[in-house]
């Protein structure tokens, strides 16, 4: 029988076989997939695993502190944080094409891991890179037989050709709900296991247009408000995730106080889903939408309009890029 504990046992055995007495690095994104992948590898090879958390500047408010605090407390894992904000912003300057953004972000992640590997050299040979790639990531990046490339997930289609690591991907055959069960089986807390998905490329693929520091700050504020209100309304478990998107190249006219405004729209994209392969838009209560809209337009300077995405997947994808 295909139980969660048998998945854990089988993956632990495979990881031990692949890594032998070597050492591995795991990129933690703050999301559930990399958290569970790291916990599995930790179970297999103990402290020969070092986790690297890359602050690429595309994170949501509070995410770095949460990983540094909660995940380390729960697992006792070795964690190195790398501040790579300038590097990612520089690489993304002037780029507007979604696939190009994804590939740049995937490539820069790897470059940062390679640098981390060189920095850790004194402690041994970190030849293996652990990634929390799931089955749907593989399919949508065109990795499955006969499938089209819909998006290059940063950890699949975004990898550079001259990759210097051997990849360890223990979740490659699993769907999100199975990953959550594996996380629970490994003793990870609810706050990690039930976290809503957040894409590795982060806010970089939620700014439609060029990614700049100012735009990131604007989106981060709007996102924090939306998340705060959804949590306050007790809706976290009933939605799959709610991307908040900044239409950075669109402006519309508004009025605030006595004055004309010419600001950007924010899109709310609440979705319900089983596995992210298909999704429906979530019918959020009007009062919650109203609170989010009022707060974002009052509190975020550049934003004068909030719109709701009512598209299912297909034809829309969950993220806008």
**What residues are designated binding site for ATP?**
29-35
Could you tell me which residues are beta bridge partners of residue 259?
A: 256
Nearer to ligand XMP, 151 or 227 (CB): 151
Instruction: Say how far apart CA 248 and CA 250 lie, in whole Å.
Output: 6
# chain residues binding ligand XMP, by CB under 6 A:
15
- Residue 267 CB, shortest distance to ligand XMP, in Å, is 13
CB neighbours of residue 22 within 10 Å: 15
What dihedral do alpha carbons 90, 96, 98, 102 form, nearest 10°? -10
Q: Which of 55, 63, 117, 140 binds ligand XMP (CB under 6 A)?
A: 140
Instruction: Say how far apart CA 104 and CA 10 lie, in whole Å.
Output: 34
Nearer to ligand XMP, 58 or 266 (CB): 58
DSSP character at residue 46 = G
The gap between the terminal CA atoms of the chain, to the nearest Å, is 39
Q: Which of 43, 151, 180, 269 binds ligand XMP (CB under 6 A)?
A: 151
Phi, psi at residue 60, to the nearest 5°? -80, 170
- Binding-site members are 29-35
x-marked contacts with ligand XMP along 289-318 as a string, rule CB under 6 A:
------------------------x---xx
- Residue 173 CB, shortest distance to ligand XMP, in Å, is 16
64-123 residues near ligand XMP, rule: CB under 6 A: 102
- Residue 106 CB, shortest distance to ligand XMP, in Å, is 8
- Segment near ligand XMP (CB under 6 A); pick from 2-10, 148-156, 181-189, 286-294: 148-156
200 binds ligand XMP (CB under 6 A): yes
DSSP character at residue 50 = E
CA–chain centroid gap for 260, Å, is 36
- Residue 277 CB, shortest distance to ligand XMP, in Å, is 8
Sign of CA pseudo-dihedral 74, 76, 78, 82: positive
- Residue 25 CB, shortest distance to ligand XMP, in Å, is 17
Nearer to ligand XMP, 133 or 218 (CB): 133
Instruction: Say how far apart CA 147 and CA 67 lie, in whole Å.
Output: 34
275 binds ligand XMP (CB under 6 A): no
Label residue 124 left, alpha or beta by phi (over 0 means left) and psi (-120 to 50 means alpha): left
Q: Which of 23, 103, 153, 215 binds ligand XMP (CB under 6 A)?
A: 153
Q: Which of 23, 60, 103, 154 binds ligand XMP (CB under 6 A)?
A: 154
Contacts of residue 112, Cβ cutoff 8 Å, sequence gap at least 6: 52, 54, 82, 84, 87
- Residues forming contacts to ligand XMP in the complex (CB under 6 A) are 102, 140, 151, 153-154, 197, 199-201, 241, 276, 313, 317-319
């Amino acid at each position: 029988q295909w139980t969660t504990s048998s998945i854990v046992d089988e993956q632990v055995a495979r990881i031990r076989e692949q890594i032998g007495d070597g050492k591995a690095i795991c990129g933690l994104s703050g999301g559930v997939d990399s958290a569970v992948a790291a916990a599995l590898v930790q179970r297999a090879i103990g402290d020969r695993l070092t986790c690297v958390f890359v602050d690429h500047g595309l994170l949501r408010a509070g995410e770095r502190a949460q990983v540094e605090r909660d995940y380390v407390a729960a697992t006792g894992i070795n964690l190195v944080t790398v501040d790579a904000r300038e590097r990612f912003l520089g690489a993304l300057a002037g780029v507007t094409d979604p696939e190009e953004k994804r590939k740049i972000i995937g490539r820069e992640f790897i470059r940062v891991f390679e640098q981390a590997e060189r920095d850790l050299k004194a402690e041994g040979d970190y030849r293996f890179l652990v990634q929390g790639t799931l089955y749907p990531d593989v399919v949508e990046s065109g990795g499955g037989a006969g499938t089209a490339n819909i998006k290059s997930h940063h950890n699949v289609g975004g990898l550079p050709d001259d990759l210097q690591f051997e990849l360890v991907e223990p979740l490659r055959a699993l769907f999100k709900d199975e990953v959550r069960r594996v996380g629970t089986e490994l003793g990870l807390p609810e706050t990690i296991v039930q976290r809503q998905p957040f894409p590795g490329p982060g806010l970089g693929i939620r700014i439609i247009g060029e990614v700049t520091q100012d735009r990131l700050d604007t989106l981060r504020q709007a996102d924090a408000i939306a998340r705060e209100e959804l949590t306050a309304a007790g809706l976290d478990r009933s939605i799959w995730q709610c991307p908040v998107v900044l239409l950075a190249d669109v402006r519309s006219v508004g009025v605030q106080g006595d004055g004309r405004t010419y600001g950007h729209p924010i899109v709310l994209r609440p979705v319900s889903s089983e596995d992210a392969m298909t999704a429906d838009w979530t019918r959020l209560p009007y009062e919650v939408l109203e609170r989010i809209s009022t707060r974002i337009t009052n509190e975020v300077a550049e934003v004068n309009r909030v719109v709701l995405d009512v598209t299912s997947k297909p034809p829309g994808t969950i993220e806008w890029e």
